[in-house]
A and B are shown apart, each in its own frame.
Chain A
Amino acid sequence: MSHATIVTPTPEGGFQPHTVAHHFKTAEQEFQAAKFAFWLFLVTEVMLFGGLFAAYIYYHGFYPKSFQAGGSLLDWRLGALNTMFLLTSSWTMANGVRCSQLSRRKEMVVWLWWTVVLAGGFMVVKYFEYSGKFHHGIFPFTQVWHPEGHYGEVLAGVAFPKLFFNIYFTMTGIHGLHVLVGMIAIGWLIWRGGQGRFHSGWYIPVDLIGLYWHVVDLIWIFLFPLLYLVP
């Protein structure tokens, strides 16, 4: 079978046309295939983090006192600040996607910039949280474990306090990695978006990276109460 070249409608104003991949019959088919594929990818993300949450709840059941002691040593105000950073960035991302659908190039780029800045704020706070823990002798993943001062007192009487912190570091570490990947991806969107690649006829990359970004937010929505406000 050979094909006619299919393009999507391209609005005026310096936007670039999009050619539908050769093996699709219509632009709609390409759009729906990409979107369904990405939802399936999000399913794998949910299952991956789900395993970590299962481990959290399992050991919370084993050692509730240790988890409460460990959680009390995390600063919930920083956690709440980070929650606001991510929630706000999720909102700006949603608006960025909306503007790409409406072919409002400049507005889209501004919303995406806000998203990246807020994500950067999240990472800065995370950096200070991690280094604060290292400063008090609480290291991720090492045998070097000597909680000092106040930390030592709180953790003295509980069983296996390291376990809580290692789960904390693993979960927030893998989540932080997703934030970084998201920032790079949104940076790419800003670059290509500036070139006029995304418009009402073709905005699927913005849409999909937006979905990814919301899932990053989604996971943090659960991490915040479970880690910082240990029930």
Chain B
Amino acid sequence: MTTHAPAHEIPTVEGRREPDYLRVTKGFMSWVTTLDHKRIGLMYLFGVTLAFIVGGIFAMLLRAHLWNPGPDGQMFSPQDYNQLFTLHGAFMVFAFIIPAIPGSIANFALPLLIGAPDVALPKLNLASFYLWLFGTVLLSYSAITNGLDTGWTFYTPWSLKSQTAVLSAGLGVFVIGFSSIFTGLNFLVTMHKMRARGMGWFQMPLFCWAIYASSVLQVLATPVLGITVALLAFEHIYHIGVFDPAEGGDPVLFQHFFWFYSHPAVYIMILPGMGIISEVVSTHSRRPLFGYKLLAFSSIAIAVISFLVWGHHMYTSGQSEFAMQAFSFLTVLVAIPTAIKMWSWVATIWGGSIALTAPMLYAIAFLVIFTIGGLTGVYLAALAIDIHLHDTYFVVAHFHAVMMGSTAIAFFAGVHHWWPKMFGRMYNEKLASIAAIVILTGFMVTFLPQFEMGSQGMPRRYATYSEQWVGYHRASTVGAMILGAGFALMVGYLLHSLIAGRKAKPNEWGGVTLDWKCPTPPNLYNFDDEPIAGKLYDYGPTLKR
């Protein structure tokens, strides 16, 4: 775009050339029928936060249940406990973590970061949100009616026999799967075809590379989940026999199919988080990312390797010894690109001009917890050790370190980083810093005892436990309550900022990527003038320490 209308024709809206996307149209219908990626992103943000709160309440209830070893003096019956942890897992995995960052943060920020006016397929984007909503409603319906006691993994043959709402929950997962495919597909097309003039692949911010890698996984792996859940439903209703040993089927095949999706899915969860951390550490340390290309390629490497490792969930399921050894070897390979990322982030911060803002504090919490989660993953990849640790609290603590402690915290970092861009308002930074520290503390108090009791043999998914672990369990329960308080504080000051927060600066953090070069909040089609990509992460002359 080269020419502009004369100055006297430009409508003045608080010194802007165009009204921002929040005010350009008004009313409920203008939101629920919007095709604007930013509004869809905000609807996703609102939705996944609700799902997170529901899942979080389940988590706090089940931690409260485990205050006493039982069976006497516990809050719930063992059957209700089974439902609680299943619903906690199903909500957190399918309704929160998988859509959280792609649906909300990436939807908002990705087109801005590549200088595009919108995603490539805006209608598909809105469809993806409504599919997510429908799937989540189905999950909630299952929770309210019959509950679900199969674990979030729906393992056969129990899921065929269970009298709980396996079908409606399965349909919910199926539908959310399509939502996830639509999101991933949309981002891939957007990044391929909508980049700003002058933006080659290696001028793309690293958040985009991370979303690219996770989108590839969404497109390639999710259909297999779809067909698996469909077969499970046929099996449940019509007894077709594919997963039921009584009819000649093999439950191990279910596990192969399930983890062919669900292992790549854990990278669908973590990769976007890694992308956020890349942007945050660079912006808030005012240094270009160290090893840009390595970071970009390590995202792709993680995506590819993630398809080769699913069997490490099945070490005790009866798959062949050969397959277990192969999967064990391949799983350890994931540590290489992951470690590259860790080193790059640390090297980026090192010598930078660090601002301990709220997003940066969350990013630092991510770096600490992800190190724990990543390294314990290497232990669990080792076949012999995993036979001992399989299905213990060690595993629970490991995947909470990478899902809750890393992905969810990266999500919070992203929310805090782009919040001023989203709403043009700033939250109370002091409260935000306190919340970040409370959440980090709560995480450690909750999960470090779980690592310890897991290594001592405390099995996961048990409603009762032996006296020897009372102290660990109680510490963990206290930690969960601290986490809950931290989240409540965060939701509180974020909502407060919308009403009474100070007006955000046009470029609150002094960011140099394209998202900070459009008005705050952005226009309906984002930029005043067509953006042209320049040198990436160009903070000018580096400050000497």
Contact = CB atoms under 8 A, between A and B. Distances in A.
Q: Do A and B touch directly, given a CB cutoff of 8 Å in the complex?
A: yes
Interface of A: 1-3, 22-23, 29, 32-33, 36-37, 40-41, 43-45, 47-52, 54-55, 58-59, 62-63, 140-143, 159-160, 162-163, 166-167, 169-170, 174
Interface in B115-136: 116-118, 120-122, 124
B240 A37 contact: no
Interface stretch (B74-82, B163-171, B230-238, B449-457): B230-238
Nearest to A52: B227
Contacts of B391: none
A160 B248 contact: yes
A166 B523 CA distance: 54
Given A36-B193, A50-B224, A141 B237 contact: yes
Contacts of A140: 238, 240
Nearest to A45: B223
B272 to A, nearest CB: 18
16 contacts: A36-B193, A37-B186, A44-B185, A44-B219, A44-B223, A48-B227, A55-B242, A59-B249, A62-B248, A63-B248, A141-B238, A163-B241, A166-B234, A167-B240, A170-B234, A170-B242
Given A1-B525, A1-B530, A40-B185, A48 B223 contact: yes
Contact of B222 (A29, A44, A58): A44
B220 interface: yes
B194 interface: yes
Nearest to B529: A1
A2 B526 CA distance: 10
Given A1-B530, A55-B242, A140-B238, A47 B121 contact: no
A58 B253 contact: yes
B418 interface: no
Contacts of A36: 188-189, 192-193
Contacts of B528: 1
Interface residues of B, number: 48
B523 A1 contact: yes
Given A55-B253, A163-B248, A44 B120 contact: no
Nearest to B35: A23
Given A37-B189, A44-B181, A2 B242 contact: no
Contacts of A47: 220-221, 223-224
Nearest to A145: B239
B238 A163 contact: no
A159 B248 contact: yes
Contacts of A51: 223-224, 227-228, 257, 260
Nearest to A141: B238
A182 to B, nearest CB: 18
A160 B240 contact: no
Contacts of A33: 120-121, 189, 192-194
A48 B260 CA distance: 12
B118 A160 contact: no
B250 interface: yes
A22 B36 CA distance: 12
B29 interface: no
A29 B9 CA distance: 31
B253 to A, nearest CB: 6
